[in-house]
Amino acid sequence: MSNSCPTRSWRYGTVSEIDVDFDRLADDLGGVRDAPLGEMTTYRVGGGAAVLVRVESLERLRRVAQILAEVDVPVLVIGRGSNMLVADRGFRGVAVQLGDFAAECEIDRRGDEAIVRAGGLALLPVVARRTASAGWTGFEWAVGVPGSVGGAVRMNAGGHGSDMEACVVDVDVYDLQRGSVSVRPLAELGLRFRGSSIVDHEVVTEARLRVSKGDVDTCRATLDDIVRWRREHQPGGQNAGSVFVNPIPGELSAGELIDRAGLRGRRLGSAEVSTKHANFIQADVGGSATDVKDLMDLVRQRISDDFGIELHSEIRLVGFVDGEETS
Domains with residue ranges and CATH for the chain: 15-98 (3.30.43.10), 103-232 (3.30.465.10), 235-318 (3.90.78.10)
Q: Is 313 an active-site residue? A: no
Q: Is 194 an active-site residue? A: yes
Q: Is 242 an active-site residue? A: yes
Whether pTM exceeds 0.85: yes
Lowest model confidence (mean pLDDT) among 2-6, 38-42, 162-166, 239-243: 2-6
pLDDT at 6: 33
Lowest model confidence (mean pLDDT) among 3-12, 56-65, 288-297: 3-12
Q: What is the rounded CA–CA span in Å between residue 89 and residue 98?
A: 24
Q: How far from chain centre, in Å, is Cα 207?
A: 15
> Per the residue annotation, which of 80, 288, 314, 316 is the catalytic one?
314
Whether the predicted pLDDT of 161 surpasses 70: yes
pLDDT at 52: 98
Grouping H, G, I as helix, E, B as strand and the rest as coil, residue 310 is coil
Q: What is the rounded CA–CA span in Å between residue 55 and residue 170?
A: 22
Please, which pLDDT band fits residue 46 given cuts at 50, 70 and 90? very high
Of the candidates 151, 45, 76, the one whose C-alpha atom is nearest the C-alpha of residue 325 is 76
> Per the residue annotation, which of 82, 148, 196, 242 is the catalytic one?
242
Q: What is the rounded CA–CA span in Å between residue 270 and residue 233?
A: 22
> Per the residue annotation, which of 184, 194, 266, 300 is the catalytic one?
194
- Classify burial at 69, counting beta carbons within 10 Å of its beta carbon; exposed 0-12, middle 13-18, buried 19 or more: middle
What is the per-residue pLDDT across 52-99, written as a single tens digit (0 to 9) for each?
999 999 999 999 999 998 898 999 999 999 999 999 999 999 999 999
Please provide the DSSP assignment of 170-221 as one string. EEEEEETTTTEEEEEEGGGS--BTTB-S--TTEEEEEEEEEEEE--HHHHHH
Lowest model confidence (mean pLDDT) among 11-25, 34-48, 227-241: 11-25
